[in-house]
Amino acid sequence: MYFIYLLLFLPTLIFSQTGFYKSSDENIELKKIASNLDVIWGMSSILDDKLLFTLKSGKIGILNTKNKEIKYIFNISDVWNFGQGGLLDVQKSPNFKEDNLLFFTYVKDINDKATTVLSSAKFQNDKLLDWKDLFVSKAFSNTNIHFGSRITFDEKGHLFFSIGDRGVRENSQNLSNHAGKIIRLNLDGSIPKDNPFTNQKDALDEIYSYGHRNPQGLFYDKKSKKLYSSEHGPRGGDEINIIEKGKNYGWPIISYGKEYWNNSPVGESTSKKGMEQPIKYYDPSIAPSSLIVYEGEVFKNWKGNLFLGALKLQHLNRIVLDKDNKVIKEERLLEELNERIRNVIQSNKGEIYISTDSGNIYMLNSKP
């Protein structure tokens, strides 16, 4: 792989645009802190005033959230940037203060077929060093859709990331490939010994769960110790799931969605023995992107709530769950922006950052 280091500082070209919005539980101050950057697929709050972000085109940059300056530090020259492919997620290591590691997912062309790849690099003095591909998934296809992909970590040293079905529905039920799966690895890319399919013939050891269509949201909540995912369904059938080890989430055998070419339902039915049900599905579709469980102190009334970006219906989706993981409230925020919200993260200080397909980054803070 060939990389280009970019040491270009961009002056502040935007002014913070402030707006005030009201949730049923919080007053929100919204500031635009970056604009016109291309599709911003992933973000990670690496330091209190430094936000690292990925552009679908392959660039990696740092936004100084105080003075709004942007510095591009890296470019993946062989990223496969077609259709839904490109440079995707970024997450800092759970041990970032000690190891300075960052993890990325991106799409790579190997022998004229594209697949999702997990990589790592060390962040040092505003540079990325020692870039390496940790895991090249067996999710090859000639299509340019359904790559996933989000990254998250549990407290036991495991890394999870999601891969879509690559536009080939039967992939999701086939344990001999990684498409339509959620993967669990150790931080060094090795396979945990207790992964669910390590002793199963014709199954890949890295698989943690299967039966997924295109999960673009994945978040491990340390308080509840639950792994949440959000995934795109066809014409309805977008889902929020709680992911458990070795479980089958049904796609394409069960779904709440409809076919694109007519109104017939996808699959056999909406439920089947041995297949998991979502805790929420959306019909019509909102096209959910990334997902977090809010754990900060800035929005005290939102602690424990789920937040999803909506691409098609262009809003920030807020979900309140009860103790039994039943949805008791949904709220659609920031509809006035008319923005496809691609990524949602919580900063080190507890603010919420969102990025959009039009290349904007916004910061949400609490308004007294």
Return contacts of 96-105, CB within 8 angstroms, 24+ apart.
96/46, 96/123, 100/124, 101/187, 102/44, 102/46, 102/52, 102/128, 103/134, 103/151, 103/159, 104/42, 104/54, 104/60, 104/151, 105/148, 105/149, 105/150, 105/151, 105/161
Find out whether 118 and 106 touch, Cβ atoms under 8 Å.
no
How far apart CA 162 and CA 141 sit, in angstroms, is 16
Quick one: which of 224, 226, 271, 235 has its CA closest to 251? Answer: 271
Between CA 313 and CA 68, with CA 17 as vertex, the angle to 5 degrees is 105
Q: Is 212 a catalytic residue?
A: no
CB 360 within 8 A of CB 39: no
CA–CA separation, 144 vs 156, rounded Å?
A: 34
Name the phi and psi angles at 288, rounded to 5: -75, 135
- Judge contact between 229 and 244, C-beta under 8 A: no
Catalytic residue (one of 146, 178, 212, 315): 146
Give the DSSP per-residue string, 100-128: -EEEEEEEEEETTEEEEEEEEEEEETTEE
Buried b (16+ CB within 10 A) or exposed e, 143-152: bbbbbbbbbb
Give the pairing of strands 113-124 and 127-136: antiparallel
Which distant-in-sequence residues (6+ apart) come within 8 Å of 273 by Cβ? none
Active-site residue list: 146
